[in-house]
Structure 1
């Protein structure tokens, strides 16, 4: 396993005392995170968190702030974004039901923010990177994408969609 690009470990013992964490990713870490997440650029990644002990593990509540550039899903043009994403996670020794390979389990919305505690510590830097990855727009779109696509002969969804052919027939006389 490779080392995380942006690491800040907090142990259960430190969490028992309560710990405020403030991180600002340096240029090398931002470049590595951008490569991992498929970003054009990650210009800023700042993390603030309060970490404390809870029954059975550690709670981490905080915020990530990021300035980044993604590629437009339609044109590959750069799309700038600014994210302010909160997180509120619990890392527990007994993090929920264990299912066999053939068994399905259902989890509630509250269970989504519960993760397993491994080696009596958490990595707030990795929490930030994973939170960032979940907050990214999966299909970023450049403001000029529709115009550029039209100029290059690409039909819009309305022009090429399933009802476009029916719309064309509506104006034709019956034979």
Structure 2
């Protein structure tokens, strides 16, 4: 092996200089890399399921997105709040009746001609150590609606009975194996508004397409047995034209 080849081999086997003798540019780059702050961890994504939301009957049951920008929650038109923590072990029963002003406000809310009267009974019973409550009741009202056929106002009596279970909202997360139950409502807070509860069940009892008894659509076509000429069939005229050709 020639002297030039041996020298090239020796140079290729030489070690790199230690950190203390690195060129200033490389050393500065190395120190800069070490001094860079570590990237913050990627925030954990929210779970795909959210606590089930339903009609608001207890205080503080609105999510942050549903809350108004400022100010307190508006008072329901028919409000009769109770403190659930003050219930006796055997439960309690209430008889409620809306005033004329409350009936007028609810009629505007539900787009009704009028609500002449609204009353109901509600019973609330604690569920032992489960932290929930049984709620059962009935609402009755005499209202004025507008017929979808004749557009005439008419009076009708409506009623609805209900039985629901209130559970803490954290127990109603829609996780695996948790089935939807229409008779279970989330409980957030310690106040239950019985008046709003009756108002919501009144809205469920309303006919979305009210029809006055005896109302019927008027027939505008030719009436049978009156001798009125029937409309000509356009295909019959086309057939006659083909026969002439």
Same fold (TM over 0.5): yes
Aligned residue in 2 for 1:3 = 75
Tell me, yes or no, if structure 1 residue 24 matches structure 2 residue 97. Answer: yes
Q: Structure 1: 5+ residue runs without aligned partners?
A: 100-104, 156-167
Instruction: Tell me which residue corresponds to 1:126.
Output: 196
Greater share of strand: 1
1:97 lines up with 2:97 in the alignment: no
Q: Which runs of 4+ in 1 moved over 3 A?
A: none
Kept in 1: contact 2:159–2:202 (CA 8 A): no
Kindly state the Cα deviation for residue 98 of structure 1 after the two structures are TM-superposed.
4.0
2:106 to 17, 33, 37: 33
**How many residues are aligned here?**
149
User: Unaligned 5+ residue runs, structure 2?
Assistant: 1-72, 222-231, 240-245
The root-mean-square deviation of aligned C-alpha atoms, in Å, is: 2.6
Q: TM-score, normalised by structure 2?
A: 0.54
TM-score by length of 1: 0.74
1:116 aligns with 2:116: no
Q: Deviations over 1:2-31 (max 9, x none)?
A: 211111112222334421111110000000
> Which structure would you say has the larger Rg?
2
Cα drift, residue 62 of structure 1:
1.0
Q: Where in structure 2 are the equivalents of 1:137-156 lying within 5 Å?
A: 137-146=207-216, 149-150=217-218, 153=220
Secondary structure of the equivalent of 1:130? helix
For residues 65 and 143 of structure 1, the distance between their equivalents in structure 2, rounded to whole angstroms, comes to 20
